[in-house]
Amino acid sequence: MIWKSDIEQMEKEPLQELQSERLRSLLKYLSESNAIYRERLAEVSDISGVDIQSIDRLPFTTKEDMRDTYPFGLFSSPEKDILELHVSSGTTGNPTLVGYTKEDLDIWADAMARSLAVAGAKPADIIQIAYGYGLFTGGLGFHYGALEMGLRIIPTSSGQTRRQLKIMQDFQPRILACTPSYALYMADEARDLGLNTRESSWEIGIFGAEPWSDSIRKEIEEVWNITALDVYGLSEIIGPGVAQECPEKNGLHVYSDLFYPEVIDPDSGEQMPDGKPGELVLTTLTKRGIPLLRYRTRDIVTINHSRCGCGRTSPRISKVLGRTDDMIVVRGINVFPSQIEHVLMEIEGTQPHYQLVVDRQKNNMDSLEVLVEVEERFFSDEIKQLRAFQETVREAIQSTLGVGVKVRLMEPRSLERSQGKSKRVVDKRQFNQKEDQ
Ligand code: DLL
């Protein structure tokens, strides 16, 4: 089922016209209602639309802009019209604050209803929403979309895993929405309870808010006997509902009539062609509360403008391949956690639970240690076999990354589990640097 098929199947030219018209009115709105944008746009003229010559001349907006102008500097509508606030916690400085007017909440509900339809939901399906409700946008975003589409909602929020499982058994929801790590966490708990996870009522899982690989998809699909699809979004743009994977599993559809996507070289700012990785930049074409122009997401993706097998014409982004900033640099070499995850998942006997610990030694050399859970049997085997397996894992990672690593094999369930986003990287170097100062 295609929700809003007039838009989702629009041909390229009329879509571009619509985007251009919306971009022009956004620029007018920003210049009229926000002092910071008024100044930034003062020198810019003759923007005809989303053609490259025009869009390339528009200024970017960054996360620092949001932090520096906290709380309301980038807001464009009067505070009295902001009906809902969401805050994402930052590790340093001010948090990121976003606000929604009535129109924005309608856009969000619409975008999320489209996401649910892309994933295969139908009105009257039962959905268990196990993303956190609250300041995090996951729970409420799904909630608004599900209401819009006429789904039947069980708003479990995250946590209380046994209760989640009982609710699934008692009410037989067809759709599960949560982070991929929580889907795995629930599987561990279900096994402890002696449940047959493959008999779950869930048929479709909509997982996002954190990076996850195709190997983790396989793992989740097998354990829960479901189709696992990726959903992408960020609070600054709207929350979940920026892009959604369809059952073709060949990229995530971006609602480009609402959020105009570009993929750029993060250093030069130049547009990247289809298929080449770069930083995703998004412009909110219709939002009123805190519309953003060319927002630098720091998420690295590729883009594909061809028509999808599902019939939609919207551009598709790949899964998030990394971040321009969570990339870790170890002894001068760029390392993405996803690369390591990929290697681990290829090795028989490792589990999809791992953590990377980066530290700086006394001699100022960086060290990278990979902690990975392995199957129980390794710990009952002889120590010699454990060592040999450790060496196999180490060599595999090292040859992919081209940088020396240490590997620590962990017993099943020994790494901290997350009910929300999991923390894959512990970078201790910053603490060392601070102590040095
Ligand atoms: O995570 C919104 C969301 C909620 C998306 C529920 C999907 C489902 P923030 O907390 O602002 O918003 O975090 C946004 O999370 O810039 C990405 O780096 C990362 N992220 C979000 N979805 C994905 C995904 C929500 N599917 C930041 N794959 C983004 C990889 C993701 N990373």
Overall average pLDDT of the 349-361 stretch: 90
* pLDDT of 319 higher than 90: yes
* pLDDT of 3 higher than 80: yes
Place of tokens 């594909």: 304
User: Among residues 340, 320, 321, which one has the least CA distance to residue 424?
Assistant: 340
Q: pLDDT at position 402, please? A: 82
Domain co-membership, 352 together with 213: no
User: Among residues 309, 252, 306, which one has the least CA distance to residue 280?
Assistant: 252
- Window from 176-190, 269-283, 412-426 with minimum mean pLDDT: 412-426
Does ligand 1 come within 6 angstroms of the Cβ of 97? no
As for how many domains the chain has, the answer is: 2
Give the CATH number of the domain where residue 28 resides: 3.40.50.12780
Residue span of the structural domain in which 153 resides? 1-322
Domain boundary (297, 322, 347) is at 322
Domain co-membership, 287 together with 426: no
- Best residue for ligand 1 mutational test, from 140, 234, 419 (most atoms within 8 Å of Cβ): 234
With beta carbons less than 8 A apart as the criterion, state whether 292 and 284 touch.
Answer: yes
Does ligand 1 come within 6 angstroms of the Cβ of 209? yes
Q: pLDDT at position 430, please? A: 58
DSSP state of 81: G
Q: pLDDT at position 194, please? A: 97
Does ligand 1 come within 6 angstroms of the Cβ of 111? no
What is the average pLDDT score of the chain?
92
Domain co-membership, 303 together with 341: no
Domain boundary (322, 349, 381) is at 322
Domain boundary (322, 352, 374) is at 322
With beta carbons less than 8 A apart as the criterion, state whether 367 and 427 touch.
Answer: no
* pLDDT of 436 higher than 70: no
* pLDDT of 248 higher than 50: yes
Q: What is the pLDDT of residues 56-88, one digit of tens each?
A: 999 999 988 998 999 999 999 999 999 999 987
Domain co-membership, 336 together with 390: yes
Q: Please give the Cα distance from 72 to 60 (Å, whole number).
A: 18
Does ligand 1 come within 6 angstroms of the Cβ of 234? yes
DSSP secondary structure string, 238-284? TEEEEEEE-TT-S-EEE-TTTEEEEEE-TTT-PBPPTTS-EEEEEEE
Give the CATH number of the domain where residue 355 resides: 3.30.300.30
Residue of the nearest CA to atom 7 in ligand 1? 209
Overall average pLDDT of the 404-414 stretch: 94
Overall average pLDDT of the 31-45 stretch: 97
Domain co-membership, 104 together with 238: yes
Q: What is the pLDDT of residues 271-307, one digit of tens each?
A: 999 999 999 999 999 999 999 999 999 999 999 999 9
* pLDDT of 97 higher than 90: yes
- Window from 74-83, 87-96, 322-331, 336-345 with minimum mean pLDDT: 87-96
Q: Is the dihedral of CA 101, 288, 106, 112 positive or negative?
A: negative
Percent of the chain beyond pLDDT 90? Answer: 76
Percent of the chain beyond pLDDT 70? Answer: 96
Overall average pLDDT of the 322-348 stretch: 82
Domain co-membership, 167 together with 283: yes
Domain co-membership, 265 together with 414: no
